Amino acid sequence: MTETYDLIPIGYIRSSVKTRERAPRQGREEGIEVVVDILPEFADAVEGMEELEMLQVICWFHEARRDLLKVRPKRDPNRPLSGVFATRSPVRPNPLTVYAAKLLGVDGLRFRVQGVDAIDGTPVLDIRPHIHRLDD
């Protein structure tokens, strides 16, 4: 029997990138800037965010396929198939991703961050401080 768990978005990514096909392959490397738009019911949870330098932004790749267990890394047809757990592919049984994002600014419930390659409308499931001595 497979257990299930309920997850709820705390916010959404707002980006100029509207489709998966246009998304950069590695947002941190390409320097893309997006906005994390937090839902009003989580307003109390953002207190103190402006003091942080880096965040871990946990998202759900809502448009990713969940039925493949093997992919070719970097979509390179010359590379052998690899299990998705050995790749950074968004295709996974549970399409979660964790970004280490630079916090550029806080405006109420909107955070400007750099290093997130998610498309516009991607659900954000959680945000945590990224602490270099613990997370690097």
- Digit-coded pLDDT (tens) for 32-60: 799 999 999 999 999 999 999 999 999 99
Which residues, including other chains, have CB under 8 Å from residue 7's CB and lie 6 or more apart?
60, 125
Segments making up each domain of the chain, as ranges = 32-135
pLDDT of residue 1: 66
Report if pTM > 0.85: yes
Class of the CATH domain delimited by 32-135: mainly beta
Question: 113-128: per-residue pLDDT in tens?
Answer: 999 989 999 999 999 9
